[in-house]
Amino acid sequence: MKLFRTISLAAGLTTLSGCAMVGAPVSNGALITNLRGPGHVTTLTESPKLGTGCATNLLGLIAMGDASIDTAKRSARITEVSSVDYDSFSLLGVYARFCVLVRGK
């Protein structure tokens, strides 16, 4: 019984440890992180299209998606990039999402 209680406590603490984190220009919030920040800017001034590429993480155990610039360009059929930004969101360290935002024409 004592072994079961110890294993249950260890599993519970591991689950609540908050392993799902996202990249951010400031430290992640303990409860919620919701940030958008600058990436890279080119000399192209026209940017009528916006493409996104996102990756998600659940409990720090399951991570999937494609947050590459190439995927974001393809999603909006962008051939010339004017800027690349990012958007990150995290909730209680349980769920996290990181997106690349590409503007261009």
Q: What is the pLDDT of residues 6-21, one digit of tens each?
A: 766 655 555 555 555 5
pTM for the whole structure: 0.70
Q: What's the token pair of residue 33?
A: 């992180």
**Residues 17/18/23/27 CA torsion (nearest 10 deg):** -70
DSSP state of 22: -
H/E stretch holding 72: helix 69-76
Q: Report whether pLDDT(63) > 80.
A: yes
Distance from C-alpha of 8 to C-alpha of 58, rounded to nearest angstrom: 20
Extract the runs of DSSP E, i.e. beta strands, from 42-80: 49-58, 62-65
**Per-residue pLDDT band at 102 (split at 50, 70, 90):** very high
User: Which percentage of the chain shows pLDDT scores above 90?
Assistant: 36
